[in-house]
Amino acid sequence: MLKSAKILKRLSSLMVFTQSAIVITGASVRITGSGLGCSTWPECTPGSFTPTPDQPESPLHAWIEFGNRLLTFVLLINALLLMVAILRNKRRDLRTLGLVQILGILAQGVLGGVTVLTGLNPATVSAHFLLSIVLIAAALSLRQRAHGVTPTDIKLAPLTRRLARITVALTALVIFAGTIVTGSGPHAGDDLAERFNLDPRMMSWIHADLVIALIGVTVALLIAIRLGEAEDTRSSWGVSARNFLIICLAQGAIGYTQYFTGLPELLVGFHILGSVLVWLTVWNLTIKGNVLSRS
């Protein structure tokens, strides 16, 4: 039983990693213009599930897109093994979260197909990314429960809890706005892909304003923690809030740098990685502080 519990913990951690990794590989598809490297779905090219030497799309682009598709199967295997481990350990509290992973991955496969068949419509591309954000949150919640991370010893003051909730909401809004910026900008996955009929410059500045607001609220949260919380809360949960601020500042610096340097692909990739880290950090803060509870 002890060995089975260890397997559950490892698979839950791997679930967080693989759900995050597919966001990065998906970003590489978009940044390299490989979104239509496989021109159809579920096949890669008409008549073949894998790239073919004679297909009109660039072989490199085809294999980049195909590699991202293969990772979906890795996620699904991970999720199925995780569910088996949950059932073997009789962890009824993890069943729903485990099922969310399986159903979410299947939904991602269908949504990915819709994205390809609609020629990388920016709305479906954004939905593809946002669903990953939801699945990452669910995977982290599952992982923390499997590892025994509970918020029972943290009792937040009303002001701190309110500011923490605003922080989570603003983070989600910042990420959503980022998808609109992406759908309006140059890295849409293919030169012929449709874009949102919005001014990329204006959307970038709206996104930046939301980031500034998020940093301001996070600073206010840290002040509330320092002035209104007990020492044990400041030394545990408060450290997580401080780490979140540091990651936000780093992410903001990357965002401004990529904007003023013409959106180089490497920096765009780091910015996508940063968005995953920002979300993981704020959701971990949410879990440890039981921020979304009614108490």
- Which of 98, 125, 149 delimits the end of a domain? 149
Domain end marker among 116, 149, 182: 149
Q: 195 lies in which domain range?
A: 152-295
- When pLDDT is cut at 50, 70 and 90, the band that residue 295 belongs to is low
pLDDT tens-digit profile of 14-23? 999 999 999 9
pLDDT one-digit tens code per residue, 79-108? 999 999 999 999 999 999 999 999 999 999
Same domain, 160 and 286: yes
- The answer to whether residues 200 and 138 belong to one domain is no
What the block records as the tokens of 257 is 């740098």
Q: Final residue of a domain: which of 129, 149, 169?
A: 149
Read off the pLDDT of residues 215-238 as tens digits, 9 standing for 90 and up.
999 999 999 999 988 888 888 888
Residues 144 and 237 in one domain: no
pTM of the full structure: 0.92
Number of domains in the chain: 2
Same domain flag for 27 and 100: yes
Whether 132 and 182 map to the same domain: the answer is no
Confidence band for 191, pLDDT divided at 50, 70 and 90? low
Q: Are residues 172 and 273 in the same domain?
A: yes
Mean pLDDT across the stretch 160-166?
A: 93
Tokens representing residue 253 in the block: 């610096």
Residues 199, 82 share a domain: no
Q: Give Cβ neighbours of residue 29 (< 8 Å, ≥ 6 apart).
A: 35, 37, 64, 65, 68, 189
**One domain for residues 94 and 193:** no
